[in-house]
Amino acid sequence: MPGEPGAFATCNNIQIWYRDEGPQTGEPILLIMGLGSQLIAWPQDFVDDLTGRGYRVIRFDNRDSGLSEKIEPAAGAIETDPTINAAYQLTDMAADSVGLLDHLGIDRAHIVGASMGGMIAQTLAIHHPERVRTLCSIMSTTGAPFVGLPTLEAAAAVLAGTPAEREAAIAHIANVTRIIGSRTLEAEEREARLAGATAAYDRMFYPAGTKRQFGAITAAPNRTAALGEFAKLGIPVLVVHGGEDSLINVSGGRATHNAVPGSELVVLDTMGHDLPASLRPQVLDAIDANAKKALVSA
State residue 72's pLDDT score.
87
145-159: average pLDDT: 96
The answer to whether the predicted template modeling score (pTM) of the entire model surpasses 0.85 is: yes
Domain tally for the chain? 1
State residue 1's pLDDT score.
60
- Under 8 Å CB-to-CB from 298, ≥6 apart: which residues? none
The answer as to whether 23 is a domain residue is yes
Helix (H, G, I), strand (E, B) or coil at 234: coil
Look at residue 298 and tell me whether its pLDDT is greater than 70: no
Annotate 158-206 with DSSP letters as a single string: HHSPPPSSHHHHHHHHHHHHHHHS-STTHHHHHHHHHHHHHHHHHH---
The answer as to whether 1 is a domain residue is no
**Which structural domain, as residue segments, surrounds residue 50?**
7-297
Residue 240, Ramachandran bin (φ over 0: left; ψ between -120 and 50: alpha; else beta): beta
User: What CATH number corresponds to the domain at position 255?
Assistant: 3.40.50.1820
pLDDT in tens, 39-59: 999 999 999 999 999 999 999
Instruction: Give helix then strand counts, H and E, for the chain.
Output: 10, 8
The answer as to whether 2 is a domain residue is no
pLDDT in tens, 229-272: 999 999 999 999 999 999 999 999 999 999 999 999 999 999 99
CA distances from 183 to 114, 157, 243, 245, 276 (A): 19, 15, 10, 9, 11
pLDDT in tens, 77-127: 566 677 678 999 999 999 999 999 999 999 999 999 999 999 999 999 999
